[in-house]
Amino acid sequence: MNQPDVFVSYSSKDSEFVRTLVEWLEEAALDVWFAEEDMRAAADVEDELIENVDRCRHTIFVVSEHWLNSEWTKFERSVAMENCPADRRIIVVARMEISTPVRTLGRELHRKKRISWLEDEAEPEARFWEVCCGLGLAELGKKKDWVENGRKIRGATGVETVVQHSQAKDSLGQADVDTVLTCNRDTQWGKLHRLATDDQHEAVLIPGPACEAHELFLKRVEVCLPRDPDRRICDVRWPGCPPQSRAMAESEIAKAIDCQPDQLVRSLQSILSQKNLVLVHRPPFEETDCRAMIEYYSEWLPDLLDRVDIPGTSLPGKLKTVHAVSWPRVRALECGLSLLFSSSRKCDKVSAAREIEKRLDERFGQLRVRFLSELKPITEKDVRSWADSLDIDEDSRTRLVDHALDGDDSLEILKRISERLGHQRLSL
């Protein structure tokens, strides 16, 4: 069962506003859950609410006089606030003037990020931008861009727009540039379109900022991937950490394509004989087990594909995988490579890179892996701007910025791997 991104608590008197808010959130590729009127009349409504609120990563309270006086929303509030995980973001969207936050919202809720979005709001796009920042989506762009362009959600560009942009890039003679992707610049979605339609059987690992926006980037990948040629896009979720065995890895893929693990090969054969398949991997929430990730792409996945036999059809071009790897985990990958390939002496980065290049040559006969960095590195100004948008104290913000800016030479190993794979335009 998929984990929704956002739970929205609201009064039915504010349903018109909430419908617009939910529509915009979904355009930004967020999976939204809220208790609709028909559900509220169900006999087991309380159990269903508790189950779904617990599954949601974050919560938005649409606070109005009606919300404050509703017994139902009081129950929603208690469920959402009770045993709230440390990484759950809670946003208060105030549809009323709140002059005494502690008295109005209570001691716990008044400390949460609050956004004033009144009925006569002149710039609703700017308020929505603030909501996205509160949910960890600061990389979607600058506030002024949202206001100037109206309700255009960065990163949720339609396929038609992506195609046009890709063609425009081609006309500039850049069609053959083997470039890379970033999650915070909508001008590069044309390259994503090219990557998705490329007739190469490959796994794409996309390093990015260490924040939840990177996971949502994968959802935008999923939204923008074209369906021509006919393709099925499946969401592979590693529950907290990468799989620790071949059986676990195949079990997660089986869940994604909705089959039993013992039927995985047969189901893959059935799907790939009719259409292309894209496996979109969410980044794990805990620290990545580097050895497991390396084995996943160098051993388990190629071996699985070796067992898939489609008469008259070659697998290249039929299956792709897309995977996010945050910057700290890239640094962890480097350390993991050193441990994985070390001998009696300490293994340096160059030796580790040579070993994984050798392994790539040996194992990736039919599965080509690309390690992709950002087209343009995130600048210190970008990092500080993102950190300033977060609802955290100054000490935490300082530590966060220092951590994000640390490790200038941490991607040297990815440069070597990328060069080995013919990725000539890697920009770090």
Alpha carbons 296 and 244: distance in angstroms, whole number: 9
Residue 63 has pLDDT above 90, yes or no: yes
Q: How confident is the model at residue 203 (pLDDT cuts 50, 70, 90)?
A: low
Strands 319-326 and 58-63: unpaired
| DSSP output for 139-208 | GG--HHHHHHH-S--TT---HHHHHHHHHHHHHTT-TT------SS-GGGHHHHHHHHH-S--EEEEEEE
Residues 185 and 137 in one domain: no
Residues 90 and 185 in one domain: no
CA diameter of the chain = 71
Going by the DSSP 8-state scheme, the letter that residue 282 receives in this structure is: P
Percent of the chain with pLDDT over 70: 44
pLDDT at 61: 93
Containing structural domain, residue 338:
159-420
By mean pLDDT, which of 126-140, 142-156, 375-389 is the weakest?
142-156
CA 88 to chain centre: 16
**Domain at 66, CATH number:** 3.40.50.10140
- Residues 316-343 pLDDT 10s: 456 777 766 554 444 444 444 333 333 3
Residues 212 and 326 in one domain: yes
Alpha carbons 214 and 210: distance in angstroms, whole number: 7
Residues 36 and 178 in one domain: no
Residues 122 and 224 in one domain: no
More confident call, 324 vs 358: 324
Decide: helix, strand or coil at residue 76: helix
- Residues 362-380 pLDDT 10s: 554 444 555 443 333 345 5
Domain count, the chain: 2
Residues 137 and 172 in one domain: no
Nearest to 192 by CA among 208, 201, 175, 180: 180
pLDDT at 379: 52
pLDDT at 300: 79
- Tell me which of 91, 119, 149 is where a domain ends: 149
Residue 396 has pLDDT above 50, yes or no: yes
- Which of 155-169, 238-252, 257-271, 330-344 tops mean pLDDT? 257-271
More confident call, 276 vs 421: 276
Q: How confident is the model at residue 8 (pLDDT cuts 50, 70, 90)?
A: very high
Alpha carbons 24 and 205: distance in angstroms, whole number: 28
By mean pLDDT, which of 27-31, 143-147, 189-193, 289-293 is the weakest?
189-193
Residues 126 and 168 in one domain: no
Residues 123 and 217 in one domain: no
pLDDT at 23: 81
pLDDT at 400: 55
Residue 103 has pLDDT above 60, yes or no: yes
Arithmetic mean of pLDDT, 47-72: 87
Residue 110 has pLDDT above 70, yes or no: yes
Tokens of residue 212, six digits: 């939840």
Residues 312 and 412 in one domain: yes
Arithmetic mean of pLDDT, 109-132: 82
- Tell me which of 114, 149, 184 is where a domain ends: 149
pTM of the model: 0.39
pLDDT at 355: 52
Segment (H or E) for 113: strand 113-116
Q: Are 182 and 207 in contact (CB under 8 A)?
A: no
427 domain residue, yes or no: no
**Mean pLDDT taken over the chain:** 63
Residue 106 has pLDDT above 60, yes or no: yes
Tokens of residue 203, six digits: 């796994």
Arithmetic mean of pLDDT, 32-58: 72
pLDDT at 123: 76
Arithmetic mean of pLDDT, 170-184: 28
- Tell me which of 118, 149, 180 is where a domain ends: 149
pLDDT at 376: 37
282 domain residue, yes or no: yes
426 domain residue, yes or no: no
More confident call, 82 vs 338: 82
Arithmetic mean of pLDDT, 104-111: 82
pLDDT at 60: 92
Nearest to 300 by CA among 258, 368, 247: 247
Q: How confident is the model at residue 67 (pLDDT cuts 50, 70, 90)?
A: very high
Q: How far apart are the first and last CA of the chain?
A: 37
pLDDT at 112: 83
Residues 136 and 165 in one domain: no
154 domain residue, yes or no: no
pLDDT at 310: 67
Residues 137 and 73 in one domain: yes
Q: How confident is the model at residue 348 (pLDDT cuts 50, 70, 90)?
A: very low
